[in-house]
Structure 1
Amino acid sequence: MPYSSSGVGHNGFDKADLHIHTKCSDGLFTPEEIVHKAIHVGLKAISITDHDTVTGIDQAKPLALELGLELIPGVEMSSAYKGYDIHILGYFFDYQQSELKGYLDHCRLLRTERAERMVQKLAKMGVKIEIEQIIMKAQNGSVGRPHIAAVLQDEGFVKSFSEAFSKYLGSHSPAYVKSIETHPEEVIRLINEAGGLSFLAHPAQNVPDEILRQLISFGLDGLEIIHPSHDTYRQNYYREIANEYFLLFSGGSDYHGPKDHEDNFGQVWIPYEWVTKMKSRLAPAVKE
């Protein structure tokens, strides 16, 4: 649902979307296509936050500059803590910084290895697909379960993405293999040491309160308040927690592409004022 609060949400306010995926991970559109879509719906700023990769940033940057769209360096990094998959959003970091770049290259290998193990599990169940098909589906981007689901659908093993996840790929399904198990404190450190800010992605999806407060203690800079899975109650709830710990707000559409032929891009957004507040927390050299 769109952001709405007293006086905010009308056309006179600048809008930003800081959670968007492209073909560089598991989205349907290229970074350039996302830039065009952002201009079309009137966004002032976006962040491409592909899973464990920053390759989309350089692809989007020239067009964003040409069209006057602010492109904030972003990433959605996988981690695990006490049995929970934790996703950390990073913003405003130096994405060419060697340690972060090296770590993300390592993640690319881990993601491919994970897909190979899932293919092996599927084969034992009589569901035979090839890792090459998955890599081709990912177009040399960051490999994820949606790419496996797409191949399963192409090969006629399932009729839909949701069936692929419920039958084979979901976290409690037989072919599931755990994602990257880096400790979230290490992910937060990598983002911060590259000059960026770290935010917990969609806390309502998979993060109980006691885990949330532990994650905050690891040095998070903020929480994702606006997300399609957060109703008004959840938005207010996480806003209160963020205020309690003097954390920043972020949010966005978590856009991957149209769902059931309906394209809601531009309908879930945050006020640009939140971006301004993020910038005020950055080191002076990063603000430029």
Structure 2
Amino acid sequence: MYADLHIHSHYSDSTRSPEEIVKKARELGIDLLCVSDHNTTASYNELIPLCKANQIKLIRGAEISTSFENKEFHVLAYDFNFEDTDIIDICKQGETVFADIDLELIKMMSVDYKEISIEDFNSYNRNLKNGGWKGFDYLKSKNLVIDVPSFFKLISDYNIKPKNSFPSIDHVINVIHQANGKAVIAHIGETMRNNLFEIEPRLKTLKSMGADGFECYYTTHTEETTNALIDFCQKNNMLITVGNDDHGGFNNRANVIYEMGAIKVDFSKLNLKDIEILS
């Protein structure tokens, strides 16, 4: 049985609907999946019955933006209470940070580009099929960005700083636990450029903060990073997960393809102890 526990839908920044995700999983022979949208669980009203109808096992989850050592780190929250008010609040906090960045960028750019304005942006309805997020989709519709790197170049060029910060990683881990969930640190290899001298000491720190596991198998992890993460998790009896970070092609780069099935890992290589799997 193959698993992919890090997939995005168009409820965050993918081009794919829940129905399209389930169809793709069936085609690829993926038997267990988790849609871990950024700071939202909106896909699950559609996803749960779709998975049941297609005999695909499902873990409930979300990817939550956090702050750790002045960097943005992502935590995969698995099998938590979706109605927990503290989880809902930290997800809203993450969404607010991104929304504020969009607004500030549009405001600054409107001085230089007469074809855009805050009023026009506020009335703009994002096309979910395009993937991405509102600010990106709006600027792309004006031919002012072509891809994700060009959007973030504008953020840098205009020196856009978020008004508020993401919640701290230790706070998010505690909130996930209070909501009876598991906290798995996402793609630490990609976040830290597969630098094991930087990664390895932080594994102990994150474990001491309460992290339940690591996303060991990931699209851009080197073999050395993957093996180091697996070794650490096995020695400490921590969760071992796999994810391709599929966004329906939206986040693909010239040298990296984030697609379901790019990394296929047999269920037997994972450690998903105490995580409820919906049949």
TM over 0.5: yes
Which amino acid in the other structure matches residue 235 of structure 1?
T
Map residues 90-239 of structure 1 onto 2, 5 A cutoff: 90-126=77-113, 128-130=116-118, 131-132=121-122, 136-137=125-126, 146-165=133-152, 167-169=153-155, 172-178=156-162, 180-207=165-192, 208-209=198-199, 210-239=201-230
Alignment partner, residue 8 of structure 1: none
- Give how far 1:48 is off: 0.3
Aligned residue in 2 for 1:81: 68
Counterpart for residue 231 of structure 2: 240
Contact 1:129 1:152 in 2 (8 A): no
* Aligned partner (choices 261, 281, 284) of residue 274 of structure 2: 281
Q: Whole-Å Cα distance in 1 between the matches of residues 62 and 269 of structure 2?
A: 18
Deviations 1:241-275 (A, max 9, x none): 22343321112110001247978432223322356
8 Å Cα contact 1:115/1:145 also seen in 2:
no
Q: How many residues end up aligned between the 2 structures?
A: 262
Aligned residues with identical type, % of pairs: 22
Contact 1:18 1:250 in 2 (8 A): yes
3-state SS of paired residue (1:157): coil
Code of the residue aligned with 1:206 in structure 2: it is: T
The match for 1:47 is 34
SS in 1 for 2:50: helix
1:253 and 2:238 correspond: no
Distance (Å, rounded) in 1 between the aligned partners of 2:33 and 2:123: 31
Task: Report deviation, 1:111.
Answer: 3.4
1:270 counterpart (259, 265, 272): 265
Of the structure 1 ranges 121-130 and 78-87, higher mean CA displacement relative to structure 2 is found in: 121-130
Seen in structure 2, the aligned counterparts of structure 1 residues 186 and 41 have a Cα distance that, compared at 3 Å, is same
Amino acid paired to 1:117: E
Give 1:110 deviation, angstroms. 4.0
Letter aligned with residue 265 of structure 2: I
- The verdict on how the C-alpha distance between 1:138 and 1:109 changes in structure 2, with shifts beyond 3 A counting, is farther
TM-score normalised by L of structure 1: 0.80
Partner of 1:87, secondary structure, is strand
Task: Return the offset for 1:173.
Answer: 4.5
TM-score, normalised via structure 2 length: 0.82
Cα deviation digits, residues 146-171 of structure 1 (max 9, x gap): 54233222211233333222x213xx
What is the CA–CA distance in structure 2 between the aligned matches of 1:214 and 1:122, rounded to whole Å?
Answer: 40
Q: Which moved more, 1:110-119 or 1:65-74?
A: 110-119
One-letter amino acid matched to 1:46: L
Return 5+ residue gaps in structure 1 as ranges.
1-13
Q: How far apart are the structure 1 equivalents of 2:15 and 2:157?
A: 25
Structure 1 segment 26-45 matched on structure 2, within 5 A: 26-45=13-32
* Cα deviation 1:196-234 (Å, max 9, x = unaligned): 111111101224334443222110000011111112222
| Deviation (angstroms), 1:16 | 0.5
| Mapped contact 2:247–2:259 kept (Cα < 8 A) | no
Say if 2:8 and 2:36, in contact at 8 Å, map to a contact too. yes
8 Å CA contact 2:63–2:74 kept in 1: the answer is yes
